[in-house]
Structure 1
């Protein structure tokens, strides 16, 4: 059965096609009686507007801005590469992307970038930490009718328009379950000691993962106070080395954020006495750790899928359509040494210059 067209709506309402089109696109200058007949016909026929065709006819171009952490962290590089891939894939859909890089876990720098963001786009996607200033900046964009979508970890839930990412508490519970399984043979008198390593407490995804692990580990291996490393490999090397020296009974390490190059260097120097180790996000670094037998499991959140879904969400927000629920669509994957997918060639790390406006901050 074919879908009803606008011509069908006009015929059912007893008006011209032009009148039905004016009602549908809210251009006014239509009698109230005719408007009611058109709206009734739309509802009765179940007419669904072809937004893609409508946007093409109007020459509309969507403009979406991404604010993502810069630097050489493998996961954030993967996010930027995913934006680049979407920019190419969506070109025929008349979608334009602008990517601005901000320092990793620098809340003040991110707040400034949000405050200074040009009000020239349809929506913004951002990897945000939680501070009052960032929440205020997101609120200001909302007041300017620019919806903000948070990526990877949620922030300002009362002000942002949507969150796109995994359920981070579920990911933390998954890590906790793997740790309990690895310690199942230990005696009740010595259940094990787990060192959690996080990037920052202001990152909600890190807090949620830590809380998820804590809930599952209750009554089992003991969770120590977290070591904060700002997602920096140098701080990871320094602070985890200090923790291992101060507490030689550590039997597990849960690396919740990034900076894992530093942790893998530590583990490489103690291959026969290393703790059970779990990391997040399948990157060249964590893959190398799995392949070398230095890392036991990696929980991946599928960054390419997150970026693609964020674009779908921003388009829905721009069109005034019902939002999809991306969290339901992104299920974390547990990678072990035995089930690694084939390594893909590394795509370009930057957006093509043509996709970026002149003077855009990088």
Structure 2
């Protein structure tokens, strides 16, 4: 059981229940790979069947050819008939299988992910592997996905990788962005060259990118603030923040949300200026040692980015791990062990597999000219030692 999510599955459809939190929709939300299931029926736990174009045609009282014309935006259908088809689609909660459509039309899609090197960052390594797994899954569906790496936090390296993309062959790009003017220009150049661009995990604003695929990071920061504030139970002292870099928009937004909650709800806690650990345990370990030495009143820690292995080592070496309420991001082998040992109290997590799948789905929809592409919502998961998967 999960405090924010209960999940159960049947053969081919995964259903997710999410509690309302941080502005997320209440009720039933579906995994990216779930389609064509009526939520009202699914919520009762009944056996349900996939809604097809045949069902839409029968509901609207039209032929399959007419449904096909409406779904693909082709001419030859009256306004009234098109409205009936669209109403039927909405009533039945019909969702097209876009990947099957690509096979039927014989189209080929080339998408490229551009992500930081994961050598020092377990989370980014997991993201890169998720892209490779998705690429293998989609290859026979004429969707060709590749992954390229840039030096973490290096805006020049990222801009160069984006500039090197073959805009004649690559139709869509998903990039873990660094939020700087140089990267914005590189993203905009791709879009102006006709490439569909989305950001994943971390955004660059303002830019011409179409969508961002990520959790609500301000909300994540607020959750961290609430957890630390309540877990401290009225104790007074200092709270530290360790980020990867303030050039990453996701880290900036998490800090904003965190400080909003602490300043509003827990004014007795003193927030220290953020320290940058470059998402590298070789940097966070000595950084955390100095922090523990210089701040004997430290009672709370929010690890905004990666490099958690170094933070854990320093806290455990000091003998103060159980005295400090610590909340971190991303469930990795290291943060998982820290939850079990009690060095971390909670871990806020985002599902990279869902993010990669959502990015591919959005890029394909954009390439197909769909005007109503919905911004995917990536839920926030919260793990404690008691609900580890």
TM-score range, shorter chain: 0.7 to 0.9
Question: In the TM superposition, what is the alpha-carbon distance from 1:52 to its structure 2 partner?
Answer: 5.0
1:323 to 373, 383, 388: 373
Contact 1:194 1:251 (8 Å CA) reproduced: yes
What secondary structure does 1:166 align onto?
coil
- Partners of 2:157 and 2:73 lie apart in 1 by 41
1:204 to 240, 249, 261: 249
What secondary structure does 1:325 align onto?
coil
Matches within 5 A, 1:120-159: 120-159=169-208
Question: In the TM superposition, what is the alpha-carbon distance from 1:263 to its structure 2 partner?
Answer: 0.6
Contact 1:10 1:38 (8 Å CA) reproduced: no
Question: In the TM superposition, what is the alpha-carbon distance from 1:259 to its structure 2 partner?
Answer: 0.9
Contact 2:184 2:207 (8 Å CA) reproduced: no
Contact 2:113 2:145 (8 Å CA) reproduced: yes
Question: In the TM superposition, what is the alpha-carbon distance from 1:45 to its structure 2 partner?
Answer: 5.5
Question: In the TM superposition, what is the alpha-carbon distance from 1:46 to its structure 2 partner?
Answer: 2.2
TM-score, L = length of structure 2: 0.75
For 2:106, the equivalent position in structure 1 comes to 59
Q: Which region of structure 1 is more displaced relative to structure 2, 243-252 or 138-147?
A: 243-252
CA shift in 2, pair 1:108/1:93, >3 Å: same
Matched, 1:2 2:70: no
TM-score, L = length of structure 1: 0.80
Contact 1:127 1:153 (8 Å CA) reproduced: yes
Contact 2:117 2:151 (8 Å CA) reproduced: yes
Contact 1:9 1:42 (8 Å CA) reproduced: no
Matches within 5 A, 1:273-292: 274-292=323-341
Matched, 1:46 2:54: no
For 2:127, the equivalent position in structure 1 comes to 79
Question: In the TM superposition, what is the alpha-carbon distance from 1:157 to its structure 2 partner?
Answer: 4.0
For 1:340, the equivalent position in structure 2 comes to 388
Quick one: higher RCO (CA 8 Å, sep 6+), 1 or 2? 1
Greater than 3 Å deviation, 4+ residue runs: 1-5, 7-12, 37-42, 47-55, 271-274
Question: In the TM superposition, what is the alpha-carbon distance from 1:193 to its structure 2 partner?
Answer: 0.5
Question: In the TM superposition, what is the alpha-carbon distance from 1:198 to its structure 2 partner?
Answer: 0.6
- Partners of 1:192 and 1:164 lie apart in 2 by 36
CA RMSD of superposed structures (Å): 2.6
CA shift in 2, pair 1:275/1:52, >3 Å: closer
For structure 1, list consecutive stretches of 5 or more residues without a partner in the other structure. 27-34, 342-362
- Partners of 1:105 and 1:207 lie apart in 2 by 14
2:217 to 168, 186, 208: 168
